């Protein structure tokens, strides 16, 4: 079984900007619940269908398959509903690890998060200075939940020290 071990963080500042080019992403959720989420994503000219299992800490099962771009466009237009995730992704290397920084747009404008994928849960890594609070265990920051309850609907309820710079 394919497994994903991923940790998510908010960003402390803007010092990551300029370290990598961005890539436009649009994704939508076709189905979701407590046991799994089914997503269609277009990243520039590549489309994928992704199935992720329920999260247990930083670990979950994950299956991803490339699909025809036109099929993905039709699925997003007809099956994903109005709650699409739009973001620009920047992949930054730091001390042997790749950090994926997602700058959200649309209803999630203002949210910027970084993710790191690990080989095992206890793997040690050094955080760049621009990494802030960890939100791995906060379900509000899961992309599937951001599609249903966008950041713009709850960001102002956060204490002043949370959120992004």
The predicted pLDDT at position 2 comes to 80
Q: What is the mean pLDDT of residues 11-19?
A: 95
Q: What is the pLDDT of residues 49-107, one digit of tens each?
A: 999 887 776 777 889 999 999 999 999 999 998 789 999 999 999 999 999 999 999 99
3-state SS assignment for residue 56: strand
Flag whether 163 is in a domain: no
Q: What angle do CA 110, 111, 112 make, to 5 degrees?
A: 115
The token pair at 141 is 């920051």
pTM of the model: 0.86
Residue 165 lies in a domain: no
Beta strands in the chain (DSSP E): 3-11, 22-32, 36-43, 46-53, 59-67, 85-94, 97-104, 112-117, 131-134
Q: Is residue 142 part of a domain?
A: yes
What local confidence, expressed as pLDDT, does residue 1 receive? 52
Is 142 among the residues known to form the active site? no
Does 164 reside within a domain? no
Task: Quickly list DSSP for 137-152.
Answer: T-GGGSHHHHHHS-HH
Catalytic residue among 25, 29, 90, 151: 29
Above 80 in pLDDT, residue 165? no
Percent of the residues in the chain that have a pLDDT greater than 90, as a whole number: 71
Domain that residue 71 falls in: 3-157
pLDDT band at 155 (very low <50, low <70, confident <90, very high): confident
144 backbone dihedrals φ, ψ, rounded to 5° = -60, -40
pLDDT band at 3 (very low <50, low <70, confident <90, very high): confident
Q: Which two tokens stand for residue 18?
A: 């300029």
Q: What is the pLDDT of residue 41?
A: 96
Q: What is the sign, positive or negative, of the torsion defined by CA atoms of 139, 142, 148, 151?
A: positive
- The domain spanning residue 71 has which CATH number? 2.40.320.10
């Amino acid at each position: 079984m394919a497994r994903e071990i991923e940790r998510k963080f908010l960003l402390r500042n803007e010092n990551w900007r300029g370290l990598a080019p961005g890539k436009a992403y649009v994704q939508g959720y076709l189905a979701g619940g407590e046991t799994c989420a089914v997503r269609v994503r277009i990243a520039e000219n590549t489309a994928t269908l992704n199935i992720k299992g329920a999260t247990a800490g930083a670990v979950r099962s994950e299956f991803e398959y490339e699909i025809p771009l036109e099929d993905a466009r039709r699925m997003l237009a007809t099956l994903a509903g109005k709650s699409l995730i739009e973001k620009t992704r920047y992949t930054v290397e730091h001390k042997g690890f790749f950090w994926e920084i997602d700058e959200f747009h649309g209803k999630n404008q203002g949210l910027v998060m970084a993710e790191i994928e690990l080989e095992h849960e206890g793997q040690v890594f050094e955080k760049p200075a621009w990494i802030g609070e960890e939100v791995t265990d906060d379900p509000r920051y899961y992309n599937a939940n951001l599609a249903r309850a966008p950041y713009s609907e709850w960001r102002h309820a956060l204490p002043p020290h949370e959120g992004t710079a």
